[in-house]
Structure 1
Amino acid sequence: MSIRHGTRHFPDNRLDAYNLKLEQNGGFVGDRVRSKAFTLILDGLREEARRSGPDPLGDTASEDRPSLDDLLERPGSEAGAVVARAVDLYAAAFADVVRRFLAEDEWRGTERVVVGGGLRESRLGKEAIRRAGALLRAGGHTVEVLPIRADPDEAALLGALHLLPLGERDRAFLAVDIGGGNIRAGVVVPPEVGDLEGRVLFREHWRHRKEPVGRDDMVGRMVGMLSALVERAEADGLALAPFVGIGCPGEIQADGAIASGTQNLPGHWQEPDFNLPTRVAKSLGRIGGEPVSVLLHNDAVLQGLSELTRMRDVSRWGVLTIGTGLGNARFTSTEAWASV
């Protein structure tokens, strides 16, 4: 089975929808629960507390999630209570966003939603996801809401395995996850017999959010990361497939162009004459003497594909990824789709 850029058809699943932009009051629904949203909620509670006394969190930054996780473990303290309240408010907003997706035709009948992105790796993020699921159940929804199982830094890299045709998943390959604040690149080792997940052998990570970079600078740095991974693999005696799977925000067209959804990336990624897969393939040239091929898909789709082994007991499932925006994708198993 040959897979194209932005495909909706995979061997065992169909991609029903992705990159949905649900609007509300002149903005996007997903903005209410992006990573920055929790910080804004907590800042608002701290400001309210300062009107009648000292800041209960003292010098702790609202972005300092490890410290906030520690405070969440102390609900009896004033600081812990403020953090717990922020988690409750964020969870309520997240539950409402999930409801909005479930009301869309493409998301009807969803049985399970997995949540990825940076917030998921913190204790407060996992607790917010748990509480959002409880609110949905209390409201009569039967959907499960779970944190994504893979490391947030590796989920999209692992999902890129499913861009490869089934008959070619016998060698390690390169994968990239492009986000609004980070680029992650890694060497993915194919799974053992009977497993669908594989593992990331080693990876490179660049936090570009605070650096003044443009699109071409980002692509150049990404190619440099991939080249470094190729050299490391060769030094370790690992034969790589001449393939790169890339996850990127936005709507991906069959020719590898990006139609929309790159507002959180610096520069102009949607220009008609810009084709990311072509540029990366040309820059890398060959791997192991073979011409490089590159496949591009949406980053939330790839994060969702990393969860395939946990979706064998459901027919319809989705993924929401919390980052600089809210990525989303909804899948139906091939068997369930055929019965519709």
Structure 2
Amino acid sequence: EPGIASIPAESADAVTDRLMQPILAELALNEGDKVAVLVNGLGSTTLLELYLLHRRVAKVLDAQKVAIHHSWVGEYCTSLEMAGASVSLMKLDKDLQRWLDHPCDTPALRVGTGQNTVKQPVRHTSRQHAHIKEPKKRDKSGLDRSGQITPDVFRDMMAASAEAIFSQRNYLCELDGDLGDGDHGITMEIGWKAALALVEQTDHTATISELCEGIGQAFLDAVGASVGPLYASGFNAAGEAVGDRLNLDARAMIAWLDGMAQGITARGGAAVGDKTMIDAWEPAIAAATIRFEQGASVGDCLMAGAQGASTGANATTQMQSNRGRSKKLGKRSIGHKDPGAASAAIMITAWAETVQSL
């Protein structure tokens, strides 16, 4: 992850001082204040190193005559394939201190429960293969059946986009490593594995709208990163946009794409130019709409949309990020393609190629 600055390697004490400086400035601690301290390992930093950081935190606070009420040192919130650590402080008043001391017994945190607490066996599950409820069936008698994209074709489109994402997993992680925490390819792979499992479980009488509802829920359940809720909202809105149809023609396909973009925007709040996936979705819709107005087929409209998405994704390279994790990089985000826009272009291209091959 790029972080806010790139500096030469420093000692544990120097790194801790660097972390503590903005925290102390924000909290404005006074003599006699009490704090809770969390020194969290992101996954591959040793416990010994974490305690070195905590040792320095304690010295810094002691110098300011600030008391540590309680400390937690360990791996409480990890990140995929990440080294490093974080330091968090919470300034306590009497109420916060009381609630912080309240007994709790959870998989992530135990406070005041003693050592003899009987623990239930942990049930290990794989999120991407978890059971997903099928969407509710709707009356199909009045649905519009015109259009080349049937529910079965739509299934093929989803499978094609999943395979495209799987094949570009490492590329998407590399892009995300320039701007974020380097896991976009992994999270998209997890999401699409869950989506494919949902599609395979769903009866072949399901409509496109019903499939979208299930795929959206699959993304939400499987993906902890921001793309989970973003694509959940996108697929739900896209499905609702074509809820009156069994098959999709060119006009309906563009309405579906527009619904996807609107759902993502409603959830994330991004706009064109913010250096996000919206910078691929909106150009795709605009390009597909132009071809539709020229009388093009649904396949040609989608191919135009794919070209628009790719152009939009490439254009993010020259943008400064205004949203998400990469916003803190400021001008350093310029020169790097947005991974969310890149993955959107990959998916739209896969859909277009599937329809064109019919």
Would you say same fold, with TM above 0.5? no
Which one has a larger percent strand, Structure 1 or Structure 2?
1
**TM-score of the superposed pair, with normalisation by structure 1:** 0.29
**TM-score of the superposed pair, with normalisation by structure 2:** 0.28
Which one has a larger percent helix, Structure 1 or Structure 2?
2
